[in-house]
Structure 1
Amino acid sequence: MASDETRLKSSTSAEQAPDLSITADDNVYLHAAGYNESPERGLIHSFARFRSSPLDFIREVSLHFSGTGWRSFDRHIGQPEFYAGFSEDMKTRVLNSPMLVAKVRELAEKRVEVEAQEGLLGEAVLNGGSVGNQDRRADRRVQIEESLMQVSEGWTDAMICKMESKRFIRGAYYLTTQLLTRAYHQGVHVSSEEVLRLRAVAEKAEKNKQSIIFLPCHRSHVDYVSLQVICYRLGLALPTVVAGDNLNFPVLGSFLQHAGAMWIRRSFGDDQLYITLVQAYIDTLLQCGYNLECFVEGGRSRTGKLLPPKFGILSYMLDSVASGRVEDAIICPVSTQYDKVIEVDSYISELLGQPKPKENLRDFLSASSVLSLKLGRVDVRFHEPWSLKSFITQQRDRFSKLPQQLDTKEDRLRLLRTLGYKVLSEINDVSVVMPTALVGTVLLTLRGRGVGKSELIRRVEWLSDRVRAQGGRVAHFKNLPTSVVVDRALEVLGPGLVGLVPGLPEDTFYAVDRFQLSFYRNMTIHLFILQSLVSAALYTHVKQGGGPEYQRMSYGDLHAQVHFLSQLFRGEFIFPTEGLDANLSKTLSGLEKDGVITLSRSKTESGESAVDYIELSAAERSQGRENFDFYCFLIWPFVEAAWLGAISLMMLTPPPFTSTPQSLPLASVQDAAQRLGKTLYHQGDLSYFEAVNKETLKNAYTRFQEEGMILVSKSSPVTIRLAPEWVPRRADADIVAHGPLWRFADRISASRREGKNRRDGATVRSRVLALVQVVGEGLWADAETAPRKRGGMARL
């Protein structure tokens, strides 16, 4: 970074590393904590506009396309890229890969054997056969190999990134930065400390000819754009981005491929040639030391929080190093946070059951309508990079039974799971909580219809302190007053999400779209998940009312309920790895220190202190349980979703005297569960509309399958049925509220938020089960008529 392009602001505080903002005015701004410059300087200055400043506009375009200074990308850190012949070099390396060549020979030999057995090669070859037959086999094998290599060449050409022209990438950088900084008018921010550390790692990796594998979280298509912009602006070799071919549509697909995208199928199936080709390309990139970018979650998170890791491409990268074909690679987890995510509107539609539209250029271009909006800023944070080879070695030392070559599927999955969850945990560690997330969280964790401006500011300050106390980070806004930060957040969220009640003595705000606002609240929940689980468990006694002595809970009961909830949400959240007992002990001590709870202790026979009872503290009760309620409000929507999922399983109870199959299509069952949830919400038996979202219900069904409650087929279409021991019984054709499934749902319900329609358990039991039965009867009726419809169509 040249001195004339970097402006260092003086600092009066060293409480955190300064931010580095990349804006559209050709400058990188270093914002040290505590500086008092104008809050707008360097944040919203955009490219010159031709109408307002034609000379500046022409100058900027000229600098970018001529490659003046850093724009040339001639001295980047990393292996050579963007040169004529780059694509052909990569294709040649991939197609000459020993792995690919061996697979082609193997597949050709198998095909020749099949053709020989079927008599397609002339005389059957027995006991070695004649010389003529052997020649025909050899000729046919060569023919098949050539055909397979032609197929591989076509697939390779469609797959690999084609970073050929620096002039193209300079233009792409100008265009994407122009669009990005108009949408996110406060720029792209990184930590200067993390950037300097990353550059040092990149310099060492360049010398060793090693790749940096960037593993970001995935909330928006802007994720890979922002990372490419950062790498280009800071002079780091651009990563090859692993992308699904659903984005490879005309015009845009070619543009992205020349900017660094590699296209892969969304599903590989059992195509051995394609699987080997992808592995060969990954090997080639890592052997040559080219950087890679892959989203560890697979797809974009529609809920705002991290998704469980996907092990597809990650397994290929792991295998490259674990097998020894690649010496080493550097892993760099990346967190990308937004004041506002462009795609949230479409996410909500998908979560409510509307099918995801196919990617196309028209919809992509229609996104330009948001470019005139002020969406705040993007914050990108880089975890300290680490060696993938060292990680594998440590895991092998830790698990002595882990074979050196990862021979079995279980061995690979064990290592992959450890790698995936380690990366997710480190993404959470460096994530920054944005002002919109703070405001959204406060609005959704307060009782009442709305909140006054002064109370909103107070709670945002309280939440910021709690985030830091949990080891989290709050976005740095140059020591601006909280009131200004809140105003900016409200402006970015807009009246579609947060409303203002007019004509009151104090500005009073309320959540307009709680479902969409929950996306931003979910960006903070990982910091408080342990406190939320403890609070939800304690709530099983608090909700019973009465004096404090009736609301206290024994340690054994609390431990059991926390264990139950943590297992229930094992696929929803990333938990610390210390284990339940250690996590619970630490969380209870922290809540006691914060004055939320009081712990009653006694001495054990060994003289150690043990917790006997847990209850809300007098101080917490005196201030209206605001802190305890905050933790409960964070987890309650997920408790509601899990309860809805468990209750919906009762729809799988086969009707009496039926001739229909005992299984139902999984997609139909999940759609029916959503309809059931929407009905329960509007009738007052479900508190949170977001509990009906498709992703959370899918996660619940996955957990039920892991627990053996449901049996899911692998056929097409996928079907589902209750395990025999979980099937409720019927009395007079009605489902009875007894048995293991009802008790399971009732245990979840114990931690649900109390509602006025749910205080009479018998009424809830009859009303909810009656509705479940109505929806279930429709499912079974459809299942019974489906074979008849298929038979009629076959006859036609």
Structure 2
Amino acid sequence: MAYSDHDRKSSSAPEQAPDLSITADDNVYLHAAGYNESPDRGLIHSFARFRSSPLDFIREVSLHFSGTGWRSFDDHIGQPEFYSGFSEDMKARVLGSPMLVAKVRELAEKRVEVEAKEGLLGEEAVGEKDRKAKRRMHIEESLMDVCETNTDSMICKMESKGFIRGAYYFATQLLTRAYHQGVHVSSEEVLRLRAVAEKAAKDRHSIIFLPCHRSHVDYVSLQIICYRLGISLPTVVAGDNLNFPVVGSFLQHAGAMWIRRSFGDDQLYITLVQAYIDTLLQCGYNLECFVEGGRSRTGKLLPPKFGILSYMLDSIASGRVDDAIICPVSTQYDKVIEVDSYISELLGQPKPKENLKDFLSASSVLSLKLGRVDVRFHEPWSLRTFITRQRERFSKLPQQLDTKDDRLRLLRTLGYKVLSEINDVSVVMPTALVGTVLLTLRGRGVGKSELIRRVEWLSDRVRAQRGRVAHFANLPTAVVVDRALEVLGPGLVGLVPGLPEDTFYAVDRFQLSFYRNMTIHLFILQAVVSAALYTHVKQGGGPEYQRMSYGDLRAQVGFLSQLFRGEFIFPTEGLDSNLATTLGGLEKDGMIKLTRSTTEAGEETVEFVELSDAERGQGRENFDFYCFLIWPFIEAAWLGAMSLMMLTPPLSHPTSPPTTTTTTTSWLETKKVQDHAQILGKTLYHQGDLSYFEAVNKETLKNAYTRFEEEGMILVTKSRDAKKPSTIRLADEWVPQRGMNGIIAEGPLWRFAERISSSRREGKNRRDGATVQTRVLQLADVVGASLWEDAVFDATRVDKDAVNATETKAKSMRKRGNMARL
């Protein structure tokens, strides 16, 4: 059976335009599918190699640097770029910003007043006003010098056409060596983007590209696409951790603007960044930033980071900039270059600092065949229109929002809207399909024929959820699967030798989970409902024992949805609407059976939910698929809850629970606690109490702790002093009781962990609940003991002001009844 969007397409699947293929000979082709054996049909044509064709190689290099044809980038759509003096012009505009000048004067005035009070300007007498004015002028000059230095190191310096042509050639060489099947885009989306770019250029409006972020290749591929299609190159907002010798300068001249990873309370720097963003948007220069902040180490979208997004929003909302165009972008890979290093980081290894040596060592990776890159552009939209419509909605709310709340709500809505639209246009790559199938089967391995069948089944399910599968023409599914297995390699997927049929198995489940997570957003509602229903299915017995009342199902679905609110992006229609839609879809698919009744008012309601006979007859194939998708995350949430048991103060501790804000020894370092949570998880996995090793990954645990903090289960301090660590303790009402033999398996925290556990995958080592109570709680005590041993010593590092502020906030929330909603 062929793997194609032209066959077996679900009626609910969105129609996809053909891929666009551009070659280096200036010809543009439309293809019904993106993949072709010919090397000339990727978005980026593979250049001639010196060894195989030295004359062609020299000719192509000369064409690039001479700027012949499209390579000159003279007639691009957008504002003028790459002219002599570009950098100095931008610096002058930024330093002349009224906002920045006003902030410099304000800070200078405040400093003069402080110095006057401290007697640093001399005795009060005649001439004091002149001394103040002279001192103020001196401080302003010093601050402007600081601004000039920071601006020079921050702004992008795209001012040389020759450099840009060389950078394009160099980047394309690297990219096509690594991703040998090229970069693919949708013809419809590119034509639409060009039309929007022409209108934006005429109106002097910027296009703000907001891509997902899984790899450093993200911004390289987008810059290459814009260059090749003749669209003004965006200025890329980048963390200054990449600004190391040689590479930093190269990237800055190719479009990167450097910002600090943390601004702290540096008012001058904050204003400087805002002034630069304002200048770029006022001039109509395109921008690119990553709404997730850093790269996703797990393969799925991260919650939005609102830092740089808030600057762009403020530019428009304040009226300093007329408008800007938002364009969400999805970049998907057959294989992500950095996944190996991601796994090390998720398992607790410190993130290595970027350096030239590691950058150059990447050349060994670039010689691999990593498949292809698919870039998709959502339909762009006006940021001004978005702000206006949202404020109209806010004005209709029963309780009016103040300016601060209005801004935060705008930011949150903007961030999650962009992420949702990135998901909408994302394509599922063959490696993601194969990885998902391998991680959602009960057996140790899977035969080739069954793997092909399941890939076809999953492709249909993706389309049924209005998702997209990468175009691969009418190639047989077997060929596509073979290509995916080749890209994943034997380090991820193994082949059992000597069997009648090729049988494949997951070698590195942790790393394969990165590719599985690229599909989970499409099925998150079905997965949550299945995990909730599993609380009864796992009890076994006949169908009548496994059916679940609608009320119980709704309660567990609501609980899990709240638990994973920061982990996944849920539709905004609300619990009841989402649940009704999901149940209806699962019933239509034949996976579940609903027992309905009619009320006196004539309304039909669901009373019971259970697996259908057909689903049982085929071995719960579909139900298991949805459960396997979410079980690792449920395991991680359970591990996070159990790790909070480590925060139970020992009987020998001064206060249990803490009763005064001065008891700083009751606060533990957050990082140490999370590191110990990983140690606890690794131990539970190897002892059989945890089914998924990926549940110990650092990012998912951090997300769990964030949810626990939001729900008032834990209190967390965040000090402004970089030398003082973030600290954590259990909220008073969540502290478990202790007996002489250790922590007692009672109380709200234990019940909370048990409710999560009810949806966990059943394991043969976990059937005896009493044993688990004893073993897991004792282990949590053992692992957490060193935390409390260090607590007295670490008390000197605790920020008492931050502790008092957190305690005061907790008391206020408790009075309003906002604590511990879960």
TM-score of the pair, normalised by structure 1: 0.95
Q: Report the CA distance between 1:137 and its aligned residue.
A: 0.9
Which residue number in structure 2 is paired with residue 114 of structure 1? Answer: 114
Q: Which of 463, 469, 478 pairs up with 2:464?
A: 469
Whole-angstrom distance in 1 between the partners of 2:149 and 2:445? 59
Greater Cα offset, 600-609 or 40-49: 40-49
Aligned 1:227-626 pairs, distance under 5 A: 227-400=222-395, 408-626=403-621
The structural deviation recorded for 1:763 is: 1.2
Match of 1:711 among 687, 712, 715: 715
Q: Distance in 2 between matches of 1:285 and 1:381?
A: 25
Cα deviation, 1:646-668, whole Å, max 9, x if unaligned, reads 00000100000224821211111
Secondary structure class of the residue paired with 1:263: strand
CA RMSD of aligned residues (A): 1.9
Say yes or no: does 1:771 pair with 2:779: yes
- Structure 1 partner of 2:669: 665
Would the aligned equivalents of 1:33 and 1:479 in 2 still touch at CA under 8 Å? no
In structure 2, how many angstroms separate the alpha carbons of the residues matched to 1:751 and 1:490? Answer: 32
Query: Which residue of structure 1 aligns with residue 104 of structure 2?
Result: 104
- The answer (yes or no) to whether the contact 1:656–1:733 under 8 Å persists in 2 is no
1:755 aligns with 2:760: no
Alignment of 1:213-228 (within 5 A): 213-228=208-223
Deviation at 1:122, TM superposition (A): 1.4
1:674 matched to 2:673? The reply is no
> Would the aligned equivalents of 1:17 and 1:32 in 2 still touch at CA under 8 Å?
no
Separation (CA, whole Å) in 2 of partners of 1:572 and 1:788: 34
1:115: Cα distance to partner?
1.0
Residues 596 and 520 (structure 1), Cα distance of their counterparts in 2 relative to 1, 3 Å cut: same
Secondary structure of the 1:528 match is helix
Answer with 34-43 or 737-746: which moved more.
34-43
Q: State the number of aligned residues.
A: 773
In the TM superposition, what whole-angstrom CA distance separates every residue of 1:617-653 from its partner, at most 9, and x where no partner exists? Answer: 0000000001000000000000000000000000100
AA matched with 2:706: T
How far off its partner does 1:449 sit?
0.3
In structure 2, runs of 5+ residues without a counterpart are 1-5, 656-664, 799-822
Distance 1:235 1:631 in 2: 43
1:41-88 C-alpha deviation (Å, 9 max, x unpaired): 524962111111111111111111111100000000000000000001
Output the amino acid matched with 2:235: T
Q: Distance between the aligned counterparts of 2:27 and 2:540, measured in 1?
A: 57
Q: 1:248 to 1:345 in 2, by over 3 A?
A: same
Q: Would you say the 8 A contact 1:534–1:562 is kept in 2?
A: yes
Alpha carbons of 1:555 and 1:678: their partners in 2 closer, same or farther (altered >3 Å)?
Answer: same
Distance in 2, Cα, partners of 1:34 & 1:202: 26
User: Structure 1 CA distance, aligned partners of 2:741 and 2:706?
Assistant: 29
Give the 3 Å change call, closer, same or farther, for CA 22–723 of structure 1 in structure 2. farther
| TM-superposition CA deviations, 1:653-709 (whole Å, max 9, x none) | 000022482121111110000000000000110000000000000000000001110
Counting only pairs closer than 5 Å after superposition, residues 644-659 of structure 1 correspond to structure 2 as 644-659=639-654
Q: Percent identity?
A: 84
Contact 1:35 1:479 in 2 (8 A): no
| Correspondence list, 1:716-795, <5 A | 716-786=724-794
Question: Residues 344-365 of structure 1: CA distance to partner in whole angstroms, max 9, x if unpaired?
Answer: 0000000000000011111111
Mean Cα deviation higher: 745-754 or 54-63: 54-63
Tell me what 1:21 maps to.
Answer: 21
The answer on whether the counterparts of 2:18 and 2:33 sit within 8 Å (CA) in structure 1 is no
Relative to structure 1, the CA distance from residue 480 to residue 295 in structure 2 (aligned partners, 3 Å threshold; closer, same or farther) is: same
Q: Which amino acid aligns with 2:104?
A: V
**Distance in 2 between the 1:786 and 1:522 partners?**
38
The aligned residue for residue 706 of structure 2 is: 702
Higher RCO structure (Cα 8 Å, ≥6 apart): 2
* Deviation of 1:783 (Å): 2.2
Write the distance in 2 (CA, Å) between the matches of 1:35 and 1:767: 54
Q: In structure 2, how many angstroms separate the alpha carbons of the residues matched to 1:784 and 1:35?
A: 62
**Contact persistence 2:21–2:31 (CA under 8 A):** no
1:39 Cα deviation (Å)? 6.2
Distance 1:71 1:311 in 2: 36
Separation in structure 2 between the aligned mates of residue 71 and residue 174 of structure 1, nearest angstrom: 10
Are 1:57 and 2:24 an aligned pair?
A: no
**C-alpha displacement at 1:782, in angstroms?**
2.6
Instruction: Give the superposition deviation at 1:22.
Output: 4.8
State how far apart, in whole Å, the 2-side matches of 1:401 and 1:453 are: 57
What letter matches 2:262 in structure 1?
A: S
Q: Which deviations, in whole Å up to 9, do the C-alpha atoms of 1:261-287 show, x marking residues without a partner?
A: 000000000111100000000000000
Q: Which moved more, 1:234-243 or 1:136-145?
A: 136-145
- Displacement of 1:34 in angstroms is 6.0
Q: Which amino acid aligns with 1:764?
A: V
Structure 1: tracts of 5 or more residues without a match: 1-10, 791-796
User: Using a 3 Å threshold, how does the CA distance of structure 1 residues 188 and 28 change in structure 2: closer, same or farther?
Assistant: farther
The Cα shift of 1:605 comes to 1.9
Mean alpha-carbon deviation: is it higher for 27-36 or for 596-605?
A: 27-36
Contact between 2:716 and 2:729, CA under 8 Å: does it hold in 1?
Answer: yes
Change (3 A) 1:646 1:35: closer
Please tell me the residue identity of whatever aligns with 1:731.
Answer: G
| d(CA) in 2 for partners of 1:257, 1:407 | 39
Q: For 2:383, give the aligned amino acid.
A: L
Equivalent AA in structure 2 for residue 30 of structure 1: Y
* Counterpart residue type for residue 729 of structure 1: Q
Moved more, 49-58 or 322-331: 49-58
Residue type at the aligned position of 1:774 = V
Counterpart AA for 1:780: W
Quick one: distance in 1 between partners of 2:309 and 2:67? Answer: 35
Structure 1 CA distance for aligned equivalents of residues 151 and 427 of structure 2: 38
Counterparts of 1:789 and 1:173 in 2: how far apart (Å)? 49
Aligned equivalents of 1:646, 1:348: Cα separation in 2: 23
Q: Distance in 2 between matches of 1:225 and 1:41?
A: 20
Tell me the distance in 2 between the aligned counterparts of 1:45 and 1:143.
57
Q: Is the 8 A contact 2:666 2:791 kept in 1?
A: no
1:689 aligned partner: 693
Tell me the alpha carbon deviations over residues 402-457 of structure 1, each in whole angstroms, 9 at most, x when there is no partner: 99x99733221111000000000000000000000000000000001000000000
SS at match of 1:590: helix
Match for 1:681: what amino acid?
Y
Contact 2:79 2:232 in 1 (8 A): yes
Equivalent-residue separation in structure 1 for 2:782 and 2:155 (angstroms): 52
Please state whether the residue corresponding to 1:451 is helix, strand or coil: strand
- Aligned residue number for residue 820 of structure 2: none
